[in-house]
Amino acid sequence: MNKKEESKAAQKDSSQIRQKNMIAAHYSRLARAPETGEKCAYTFVPGNLTELLRSFDLLPVLPEINALQSAMRGKSRDYIRLAEKAGHSEDVCTYVKCDLGMMESGNIGPTGERLPDPDLLLLSYTGCFTFMKWFEILREEYDAPVAMLHVPYQGDGEITDSMRKYVVDQLRNKVIPAMEKVSGRAYDEDRLKEELARSAKAEDDLVAVLESARNKPSPIDAYFGGVYYIGPIFTAFRGSEEAVGYYEALRAEIEERVRLGKGPITPDGEMGPEKYRIVVEGPPNWTSFREFWRMFAEEGAVVVASSYTKVGGVYDNGFRHDPSRPLETLAEYCMGCYTNLNLPSRVDMLVRYVEEYEADGLLINSIKSCNSFSAGQLMMLREVENRTGKPGGFIESDLVDPRYFSAANIKNRLESYFQMIEQKRAGVAARGA
pLDDT in tens, 37-82: 999 999 999 889 999 999 999 999 999 999 999 999 999 999 999 9
Res 7: pLDDT: 42
Res. 3: pLDDT tops 60: no
User: CA-CA distance, 424 to 433, in Å (whole number)?
Assistant: 14
Give the CA-trace dihedral at 311, 316, 322, 326, to 10 degrees: -10
Range 310-317 average pLDDT: 93
Q: Is position 113 within any domain?
A: yes
Range of the domain at 312: 7-432
Q: Is position 273 within any domain?
A: yes
pTM for the whole structure: 0.93
Q: Is position 2 within any domain?
A: no
Q: Is position 362 within any domain?
A: yes
Averaged pLDDT of the chain:
93
Task: Give how many domains the chain has, as a whole number.
Answer: 1
Q: pLDDT-based confidence at 320, cuts 50/70/90?
A: very high
Res. 430: pLDDT tops 90: no
Res. 6: pLDDT tops 50: no
Res 10: pLDDT: 67
DSSP assignment of 231-297 equals: HHHHTT-TTSHHHHHHHHHHHHHHHHHHHHT---EETTEE-----EEEEEESPPPSTTHHHHHHHHH
Q: How far apart are the first and last CA of the chain?
A: 56
Q: Is position 1 within any domain?
A: no
Q: pLDDT-based confidence at 128, cuts 50/70/90?
A: confident
